[in-house]
Amino acid sequence: MEYIIYVLMLMVFGIIMGFTYTEGLWSNILRMCNIITSGLLAIGLSGWIYSLIREQWSGFQFIGLFVSIWLVFDLCYLILHTLCKTISHVKVRFIGVVDHWGGIVVASLNGFIFLGFVLFTMHVAPLAPSFLWGGFHSDGQILDTTWGKLAEHVSGSVYSGEEAFTWSGWTQNGSALRTDTAKSVEAEKGLFGG
């Protein structure tokens, strides 16, 4: 049953590629920049948002970080996408073959980049420790590890006075969170810990 994670990964990749491969090279390059920038901003700001959520609603201890990272990602992506559409009124023209095949290649890269971000965020999702019959590896796979290492590299210069992001810390916190979630569900407290 471990293969189910790969089926889900293929579905996420296919959805992203299916929606974007016809948009051409320029649009997909902008989308790639938006996905990477939004992901890095979400990783950097989600801890702060999570702290605010926990102060206001202590019951969101298990789902709060996962929700906060996706809220920040969605908001940043929406803003960046809108700005890019507004600024870039004229579509940059490439030679037809380059635009077509380049768009497909960059759409594929976008699928892999977004899939990596999805897998990266699953480390702090309120999932069982043996999620998908052990198919989800808490130590990471190549796509989520790439996001983790990129965030670790970028965050070293961003955080001032706070503890910088580390990939090993992220996976350890995710494993602890999944264990605590399982204990809370077994104790019939539910996902919201209360």
Question: Tell me: the pLDDT tens digits for 72-91?
Answer: 999 999 999 999 988 876 76
pLDDT higher at 79 or 62: 79
**8 A C-beta contact, residue 156 and residue 164:** yes
**8 A C-beta contact, residue 46 and residue 68:** yes
Reported as a single tens digit per residue, the pLDDT across 20-41 is 888 888 889 999 999 999 999 9
For residues 143 and 115, what is the distance between their CA atoms, to the nearest angstrom? 7
Read off the pLDDT of each residue in 160-174 and give the average, rounded to a whole number. Answer: 68
Q: What does the buried/exposed string (b/e) look like for 164-190 if buried means 16 or more CB atoms within 10 Å of the residue's CB?
A: ebbbeebbeebeebbeebbebeeeeee
Read off the pLDDT of each residue in 153-177 and give the average, rounded to a whole number. Answer: 68
Tell me what percent of the residues of the chain surpass a pLDDT of 70: 77
**8 A C-beta contact, residue 103 and residue 24:** yes
Q: What is the pTM of this model?
A: 0.81
